Structure 1
Amino acid sequence: MTITYFGYGSLVNTDTIPAATETVPGRLSGWMREWKVCGEGEDGQGRCALTVREQEGVEIRGIMAREPRTGLKDLELRERRYHKVEAIGAKFRCEAGQKPGSGDMFLFKAAPGHRRWGTDTHPILQSYLDCVLAGYFRIWGEEGIDHFIETTDGWHVPVLQDRDRPHYPRKIVPGPVLADLIDGKLAELGVSYLTPDEKV
Structure 2
Amino acid sequence: MNTSYFFGYGSLVNERTHAYEDLHHATLKGWRRTWRHTRLRPVAFLTAMPDPHSSIEGIIAHVPNNDWAALDEREFAYDRVSATSSITHAKSAAVDIAVYQVPKDTGLAPDIRHPIWLSYLDVVIQGYLRHFGEAGVSRFFDTTSGWDAPILNDRAAPNYPRTQQLSAAETALVDAHLHSVGAKVIL
Q: TM-score, normalised by structure 2?
A: 0.92
1:78 maps to which of 66, 74, 80: 74
Q: Is the 8 A contact 1:60 1:151 kept in 2?
A: yes
Given the alignment of the two structures, is residue 89 of structure 1 paired with residue 90 of structure 2, yes or no? Answer: no
Stretches of structure 1 that go unaligned for 5 or more consecutive residues are 196-200
1:149 aligned residue? 141
Residue in 2 aligned with 1:198? none
- The one-letter code of the counterpart of 2:156 is D
Paired-residue identity, %: 33
Letter in 1 for 2:18: I
For residue 3 of structure 1, report the CA deviation from its aligned partner: 2.7
Partner of 1:58: 54
2:99 pairs with one of 107, 110, 125:
107
The equivalences for 1:1-200 within 5 A come to: 2-18=3-19, 20-39=20-39, 46-69=42-65, 71-86=67-82, 88-94=83-89, 96=90, 102-112=94-104, 114-195=106-187
Q: Deviations over 1:96-142 (max 9, x none)?
A: 5xx68844211000035641111100000000000001000001111
Q: Which runs of 4+ in 1 moved over 6 A?
A: none
Aligned residues of 2:151 and 2:184 also touching (Cα < 8 A): yes
Aligned residues: 186
Residues 168 and 39 (structure 1 numbering): CA distance in 2 closer, same or farther, change over 3 Å?
A: farther
> How far 1:38 sits from its partner (Å)?
3.3
Give ranges in structure 2 of 5+ residues lacking alignment: none
Q: 1:23 to 1:39 in 2, by over 3 A?
A: farther
Which segment is superposed worse, 2-11 or 68-77?
Answer: 68-77
**TM-score, normalised via structure 1 length:** 0.86
Q: CA RMSD in A?
A: 2.0
Segment of structure 1 superposing worse, 127-136 or 51-60: 51-60
- Does structure 1 retain, via aligned residues, the 8 Å contact 2:5–2:98? yes
In 1, Cα distance between equivalents of 2:52 and 2:121: 25
Give the stretch that moved more between structures: 67-76 or 137-146: 67-76
Q: Is the 8 A contact 1:37 1:51 kept in 2?
A: no
- Are the structure 2 counterparts of residues 9 and 70 from structure 1 closer, same or farther at C-alpha, using a change threshold of 3 Å? same
Q: Do the aligned partners of 2:40 and 2:77 also contact (CA within 8 Å) in 1?
A: no
1:164–1:129: structure 2 CA closer, same or farther, 3 Å change rule? same
